[in-house]
Every structure is written in C-alpha cells, then in structure tokens.
Chain A
Amino acid sequence: MNKTISIGHLKYTFHSLKEILAKASLHRSGDLLANISAKTDEERVAAQMVLADVYLSEFLNEEVIPYEEDEVTRVIFDNHDKAVFEEIASLTVGEFRNWLLMDDTNGEVLKRISKGLIPEMVAAVSKLMRNQDLIKVASKIRNITAFRNTIGLPGRLSVRLQPNDPTDDMKGIAAQIIDGLYYGCGDAVIGINPATDNYKAVTNLIYMLDDVREKFQIPTQSCVLTHITTTIKAIENKVPVDLVFQSIGGTQRVNESFGVNYAILKEGYEAGLSLNRGTVGNNCMYFETGQGSALSANAHWGVDQQTLEARAYGLARCFDPLLVNTVVGFIGPEYLYNGKQIIRAGLEDHFCGKLLGLPMGVDICYTNHADADQDDMDNLLTLLGVAGCNFIIGVPGADDMMLNYQSTSFHDALYIRSMLGLKPAPEFEQWLIKMNLFTDDLTPIEAPVNYRNFLNVSQL
C-alpha cells in the first residue's frame, strides 16, 4: 500500500504500514542505527498525520512481519479476538487516541477491548500520544495478578527486590534482602540475576530464597532469573521454583537468539503451573523485555524498536504472567541515547503493555555510557507512579553492582509510595506491620531487635 501526504511543496509517500510506523516513531538512536527513522522532523510529523488516518482494521490486513515467516506474528494473529475488535473496528488510529482519552472510556471498557487489539495498533496509537496521554490512559487500567500476594491493585505499587551479587555470594545476597525487606521492598518478587547459568549454582540460590521466604513466612514469591530451560530442569528435579523467568522479544529470530520459542515458553509455563505453589493466585511467569533487543540481535525486519517491543507483549500475554518488566535503559545509548529517550520509551512500554492487558512494571534504569543520571530516573519514577505502574525495581542505593547499571533504590520506593500514597501488595503490607518492620501508617521502623532476630534465624 502507498499513502501520500503533501505538506507545503513537499510530497511524502510511504510504502507500507511498517514504514509509516517507523517514521512516525519519536526520535531515538536505535531507529537511526537501523536506518529506518524519519529523515527530518517534518517527515516524522507527516508520517504521524498519515498514521492518524489509518484504520485500525488495516493492521489486520497488512502484517509488519510476514505471518508465514515469523512465529510472533502468528501468535498475535491467531489469538486476535475479532468479535471484540468489532467494537472499535470503525476507528482510525487518530480517532482511537481520542477515544482512549475520553472520560467514558474507563478501565472496564479498556479491559474489555484489550483482546481485540493487536500490538501494532497499540504501538501505532502510542506514537501519536504525548507523554501525558500515555500516563492518563495507562492510569485507567488495572491489570491485577496474584501468586502469594496480589499485585496491581489500585493505590498499590510493588517492588522487585533485586539483591544481585557479582559472585552469587549467599551472605552478600542475604544482607541485601534484609536491607530491602526493611524498606518494604520485595512484594513483586525477590529476584536474583545469577552471575552464572550453572545449574547447581542456580538451584542453590533457589533453595536459599525459598528458605528465607519460608522461615519468615513472607507473602511473596522468589525467582532466579536464569534461562527458562534451566528452570524447567529445576522443576523436573523438584526444586522449589516459584516464578518461571525468561527474556523475550518481538520477533521469532530475536527469541531464537535468546534460545526460546513459543513451545519452550509454553513448556516452562506448564511446568510452573504444575507445581501449584501460588496461594492466592497462579500467575507464575515473569518476562523481561526492552526496546532494541531485536535490533541488537539483527532480527528486526526493518520494524521500529517500539513496535517490536509491543509485539513482545503480544507474545507475553499468552502466558498470563505475574510480572512483565521492561528494562528500559539497560540496553545502552545506541538504542536509547539519553534521559529524554529513556523516559519516553518507559512511558510507551508501560502504556502499550497495560493496554494489551499485561501487569507492567518498569526497570527505571540507565548505564554509565548513556547520557542520563539520577534526575532522569526521578522523573520517570514519578511519572510512572502517577501512571499506575504495577511494580518497579529496588536495588540498594540504586547501584546494581553485578549488572553494572543504575536502577531505582529501596529509598526511591519509599519516596514514590509516600509521595503518591501508594501501598505495597495487601498481603505483604500486613506482613510488614505484623513483623513490626513498618508502622500502621507505613513508615519504616528501624528497630535493632528486628534485625537481630532475623540474623539469628538466617545464620548470617
């Protein structure tokens, strides 16, 4: 298909939906690197104007990556609910933006239409939206999930406690867990990125986390973020796995580069379910994503990184995940160059994931070779708090000394919860109060007796 628009004496012609989406995307280094972005700012707006007049139904007639050649496209189209789509089938992308922002279009309505949307439609509308639009619409949507606690309820914000250690040292990890729990973090998950994928080392960590959780009866879930095949093996060997983790992307080829496909994800999902370890729910998957992963694996098909990110959510939603985390600034400046691009991408990802029905969290983060700092993270954290993000990451003092990047801290979690009156997951909130770690009005209690008890039991 060709679409043309004239602006002044210039005529802009676009040859495919893929090209319109790429050129309508807001400026970011990854799309420049892939050589698919608009050449000028005017061309970008021209593409957005053309995109605004595209009917949502056109996305069902033209795949950005061929159905025959890409498993993610097949998953997206095979799971599309045409009956639900009928409700919005008459809209153009521009009208869809307006409708999403209407007061009558509330969370209930948005949940209802979610299965009628495909990721490309959601990515498209996000490209027309301003940051405040992304925040406003996302804030209407509550995607609630549960395992040993309930995540994503209104007025709640959960935190993944991320006690990474460069050598997987058990005491180093335990000390960070204590620090995090005492600041009210860990209700999304206590999740370790292991320093090695070695099976024995990974299962040692799983046992250790399960032990801590059991001893203190913490109403939360644990996860060691290793390759899904390692987790499947652990489950077969009766290791106490709570959540099944995997990084995923928006094309078949990027997933192949991660060593996964739909069948492997399904196998992991079913293995996780088979353990039936959840007490208040059975969402047992944890996915991580991030714009730029497909390009970095040379698996992007000329599709812009933000659309591909939304496609990863299309895959994720097949497995009813407990947590989906976009690790927005980790990938580096060749994909998101600076604070402005990271902030925009974080809001886009959160919005797209929420509209597609996912329990979105964001790893608000940056690396030291990106042009970003703590102030940028403060901005994104505050914006996502307002947008109703399900969870954020907590690392001590914002410095992950294993992965060598900066994320949000336990203090950041205290800040955003107290600023916006957000509470932890209800089961976890009760535990914090019962353990005398927090007051009834959720202020931390730094009582020496607490941690001495903890130390005695954990044999640190």
Chain B
Amino acid sequence: MSKKLKTDIKNPWDSLKEYTEARIAIGRCGSSIPTEELLDFRLLHAKAIDSVHTPLDCVSITSEIESLIGEKIHLVHSAAQSRSEYLSRPDLGRRLSDKSIQLLTQLTKQSSYDVALIVADGLSSHAIHRNIAPLFRVLMPALRSMGLTLAPSTLVEQGRVAIADEIASILNAKLSIIFIGERPGLKTPDSLGVYLTYDPVSGTTDERRNCISNIRSGGLAYELACSKLLYLIQESFKKRVSGIDLKDEQDIVLGSKTNALNF
C-alpha cells in the first residue's frame, strides 16, 4: 500500500475558533479550501436557498397559530404571483392581491382595533415554520394580559414588511405587528424578524418602524424577543408613535440591522 499523501495544510491557530463562529482556521490545499469545508459551505448555501424558495406550509402554520391565538387566521396573498416575481418585484410583495383586499374588506369587524397580528413568509418560510409557534406560545398570554383588542389575524404568502400597512388599515388597527422571515444567511437560514408600526398607512417609510431581528433558536431567544416586543407595544401606545421617535431604551438589541434593508 502506498504512503498516505499530504492533502492539506492545517492552521495552528485552530484554538481561536473558540472565539468566533466565523469560518477561520479552515486550513488550505495550495491556496484553496479543503473539500470538507467546501462541501459544508455548499450545504449551508443549499439550506439558505431552500429557505427562500420553499413555499410556506400554510395548512400546518394555520392550525398551529389558530390553536395559539384561539381564533381564525385569514390566509391572504400579496400581488406577487410567484417566487421569482416576488424576488424581482418588491413593490408587488408590499401590496395585497385584489382577491385578498376583497376578503379582508368583507370580514365582519369593529370600527377600531388596537393591534393587527400579521405573519408573512418574507424571504424565509423556514423562519415561520420553526419560530412562529414557540414565539406565539410566549407572546400570546402576555399580549392578552395587556387588554388590547386584536384585529382579525392574517397569514400572508409572498409578503414583504410594508404589506402590513395595507392589511392593518383595512382592518382598522392602530398598530401593526408583522412577523416575517428575514433574508437568510449561511448560519441563519431561519431567522425571524418582527416589525412594529403605529398608525400604519400605505406609503409608510422605514424610519417609522421598529424592528426586532434575528429571532431563532441560537439567536435572539423567544422570551427576550417577546419582552422587547411588549415593551415597544406599551411605549408605542403611550407615545402614539413608532420608529425612530420611539427609542428602544431596553437596549437588548442584537443581530443585524442590515437585514431590515432588504424589504
């Protein structure tokens, strides 16, 4: 049997991996990355792509959410017909389809509600699949104890953040809260974001929103995300604003603010 060939050069600073999840000290073959690393990267990229392109499992999510909020959730669709249209036409993802406008307009409802809860696939269906139930399990009891009236809840396919404005205004809600899949990173294929907007109307710009990002197992914990959200809701009703006028003084923000840019 021939002698085992040398196929890579290890980095002696391997121990630094303890300090970061970044892909450091991965060694090299010549100037290139070793096969194992190459395939690991490819796998993570594949997972991220799958998160973008896997359709929302509306049936399971609907039943999960309904059991947690104790009432019906209404399935609506943005004006984007397909995933590729959604990706290339963000304007369509910010508007409801005509059929969905009709559906929400015809719902029996009060003349005013405090909060509209909206769940949307955004750029990662897996963010919803994996995080919405555990988050709502913590959130709903706390939200109920605040004594706020809840508008009919909606589940949105092919939705972007601003679609919450249109939905909340049709539903006569003072505050919209949208739970949406964030743009996946290699390490975060299933990160959930929450955007809160007081007095949402069509054409609302981003500085009027507050965002909580990176909610996932291994990211911002559900309990922490929830307490931050409840704080923002409280402050928002107190000051009747949202966005940069509503400074987050709790200071438990972590995670990438730049995720917010892609909506």
Q: List residues of A whose CB falls within 8 A of some B CB.
A: 29, 32-33, 163, 165-167, 169, 171-176, 178-179, 182, 193, 195-196, 296, 332-334, 337, 367-369, 373-374, 395-399, 401-406, 409, 411, 414-415, 417-418, 444, 446-448, 451, 460
Contacts and interface: CB of A to CB of B under 8 A. Distances in A.
A321 to B, nearest CB: 22
A179 B11 CA distance: 9
Interface in B239-263: 253-259, 261-262
B186 A401 contact: yes
Contact of B13 (A169, A179, A332, A403): A179
Interface stretch (B23-31, B105-113, B221-229): B23-31
Interface in B49-93: 49, 51-52, 87-91
Nearest to B23: A397
B41 A165 contact: no
B27 to A, nearest CB: 9
B24 A179 contact: yes
Given A401-B187, A451-B12, A33 B22 contact: no
Nearest to A414: B31
Contacts of A399: 22-23, 41, 44, 185-187
B20 interface: yes
Interface in B185-244: 185-189, 214
B9 A29 contact: no
Nearest to A335: B88
Contacts of B188: 401, 404
A144 to B, nearest CB: 26
Contact of B32 (A176, A402, A415): A415
A403 B256 contact: yes
Contacts of A444: 28
Contacts of B30: 418
A309 B93 CA distance: 26
Contacts of B42: 374
A134 B261 CA distance: 30
A368 B185 contact: yes
B184 interface: yes
Given A178-B13, A179-B16, A195 B257 contact: yes
Contacts of A395: 22
A369 B25 CA distance: 28
Contacts of B22: 163, 165, 172, 175-176, 179, 395-397, 399, 401
Nearest to A419: B31
Contact of B256 (A402, A409, A415): A402
B19 A368 contact: no
Contacts of A403: 185, 256, 258
Contact of B88 (A29, A169, A172, A405): A29
B183 interface: yes
A368 B186 contact: yes
Contacts of B11: 179, 182, 446
Nearest to A32: B88
Contact of B33 (A334, A397, A404): A397
A404 B24 contact: no
Contact of A411 (B10, B28, B183, B259): B28
Given A368-B45, A414-B31, A418-B31, A166 B256 contact: yes
